[in-house]
């Protein structure tokens, strides 16, 4: 079987504080876009075998796809094996959740391939050990996320904008971003769900209030990412923001011509994707 593993953007990201377990409590809204990796999953007689066209990804037991397959293999005691082939299109270290999406897609695909009796709720519990945002990709769409990002509330959010996502050739480590982030107690946290709902009616609400708390830290270390955001705004975006811990930046465009022109212009220098208004991912397998 061949499955699509879609990327996401963060429609805002607020860091609320550090937890006793060393992680951070966050508030964000995940939203899938029309950029995806392709994963082939084929049954074999034994073992878990993984290959990819990306030279920057490990192919051993540390790879998220391999870890996802191993969890199901060990949990169920299945005698068979699986061959996984990943065609990587989502930039790595870009704040788009590519690795987490791949892991979630492998979990769902193997459950289908091996005909496993595992519910989606059980997969959510298993997937949280692979990464904080892996549970989101099991359902996809749009979700309001809290905790480490694993506590999800699905949202019926159909963006009426063209989404241009630009990924500079900069790898941002999520671990580095959280380790170097300093919480400002004087910055007021907004009601993110209300902001996004209001912003769909009036983009200036987003411009004035919706934010990504990682931007000042990342922009200071990597000014090129800040320049990409400026290019999106100058190119006609109603709103632009860095996704996750970076390095990708997205712009929301109400004007299709502006979105297409800027996509073509920036594609010569950066990895760029374009998502149409009211986008819905092509479904793979759901429970």
184-225 per-position pLDDT tens digit: 877 777 788 888 888 877 777 777 788 999 999 999 999 999
Mark whether 37 is an active-site residue: no
Are the beta carbons of 14 and 211 closer than 8 angstroms? yes
User: Distance (Å, rounded) from C-alpha 86 to C-alpha 46?
Assistant: 19
Higher per-residue confidence, 120 vs 189: 120
77 and 34 share a domain? yes
Q: How many residues does the chain have?
A: 287
| Beta-strand runs (E) in 48-136 | 48-52, 81-87
Residue 6 has pLDDT above 60, yes or no: yes
Catalytic choice (37, 102, 133, 139): 133
**Are both 9 and 140 inside the same structural domain?**
yes
Instruction: Clarify whether residues 195 and 106 are in a common domain.
Output: no
Q: Which domain holds residue 252?
A: 162-275
179 by Cβ neighbours in 10 Å (0-12 / 13-18 / 19+) ranks as exposed
Active site residue 8: yes
Judgement on whether residues 19 and 120 belong to the same structural domain of the protein: yes
Burial 234-261 (b: 16+ CB within 10 A, else e): ebbbbbbbbbbbbbbbbbbbeeeebbee
Lowest mean per-residue pLDDT among 128-132, 225-229, 243-247: 128-132
Q: Does residue 15 sit in the same domain as residue 136?
A: yes
Q: What is the pLDDT of residue 219?
A: 98
- Please name the residue ranges forming H helices in 9-63: none
The predicted pLDDT at position 214 comes to 97
Instruction: Classify residue 283: in a domain, yes or no.
Output: no
pTM > 0.85: yes or no:
yes
Element (H, E) at 129: none
């Amino acid at each position: 079987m061949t499955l699509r593993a879609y990327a996401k953007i963060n429609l805002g990201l607020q860091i609320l504080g550090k937890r006793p377990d060393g992680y951070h409590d966050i508030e964000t809204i995940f939203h899938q876009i029309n950029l995806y990796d392709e994963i082939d999953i084929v049954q074999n007689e034994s073992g878990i075998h993984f290959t990819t066209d990306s030279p920057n990804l490990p192919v051993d037991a540390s790879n998220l796809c391999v870890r996802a397959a191993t969890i199901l293999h060990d949990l169920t005691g299945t005698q068979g094996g699986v061959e996984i082939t990943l065609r990587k299109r989502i930039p790595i270290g870009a704040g788009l959740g590519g690795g987490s999406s791949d892991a979630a897609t492998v979990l769902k695909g193997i459950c289908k391939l091996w005909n496993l009796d595992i519910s989606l709720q059980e997969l959510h519990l298993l997937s949280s050990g692979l990464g904080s945002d892996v549970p989101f990709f099991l359902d996809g769409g749009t979700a309001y996320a809290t905790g480490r990002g694993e506590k999800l509330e699905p949202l019926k959010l159909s963006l009426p904008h063209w989404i241009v996502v630009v990924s500079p050739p900069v790898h941002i480590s999520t671990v580095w971003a959280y380790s170097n982030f300093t919480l400002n107690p004087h910055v007021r946290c907004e009601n993110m769900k209300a902001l996004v709902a209001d912003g769909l009616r009036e983009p200036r609400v987003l411009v004035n209030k919706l934010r990504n708390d990682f931007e000042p830290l990342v922009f200071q270390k990597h000014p090129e990412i800040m320049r990409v955001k400026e290019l999106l705004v100058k190119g006609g975006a109603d709103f632009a923001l860095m996704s996750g811990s970076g390095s990708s930046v997205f712009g929301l465009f109400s004007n299709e011509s502006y979105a297409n022109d800027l996509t073509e212009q920036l594609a010569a220098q950066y990895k760029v994707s374009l998502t149409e208004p009211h986008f819905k991912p092509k479904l793979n397998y759901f429970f």
